[in-house]
Amino acid sequence: MNFLKSIPVALVLGLSVVAMPSVSVADNSNRIPFKKSVSLKVGQAMVIHGRRGDCGSLPSKSDLAKSKSDLDRNLTTGHIVFGKPGVRKSGSCNGWTPAYETIFVADQPGRETVKIHGDAVRITVK
């Protein structure tokens, strides 16, 4: 009889897990580096930074879209795409916090120094 009572409970729990929206979770094994200076050839790409949200959580998709738009507007040698979730070291958060990889894609030769998420990055594209 206890078996019959546990089936509806298991069914409800199972359906609630399936029905819940998926949430991106930071991968602690993916430690996102910060690069002060990068040198790439046209067509190459490299993780140069990490875009974090509030301390302890990933940024929203709308925050990523705004950040991409702002960054691309200031870049002359390439553009930005966001990669996999991971963690980055943050002084503001006093340690490791969830973030998405910020990937620079080299489009045309040149040199520039730009602010990426508040930090200066020197970019050379050959």
* Type and span of the H or E element at 47: strand 45-52
CA distances from 117 to 37, 89, 101, 113 (A): 14, 13, 12, 13
By the 10 Å C-beta count (0-12 exposed, 13-18 middle, 19+ buried), 3 is classed as exposed
Beta-strand relationship, 95-106 and 110-116: unpaired
Closest CA to 81 of 59, 64, 99: 64
Is the pTM higher than 0.85? The answer reads no
- pLDDT tens digits for the chain (126 residues)? 555 555 555 555 454 444 444 345 667 889 999 999 999 999 999 999 999 999 999 999 999 999 999 999 999 999 999 999 999 999 999 999 999 999 999 999 999 999 999 999 999 999
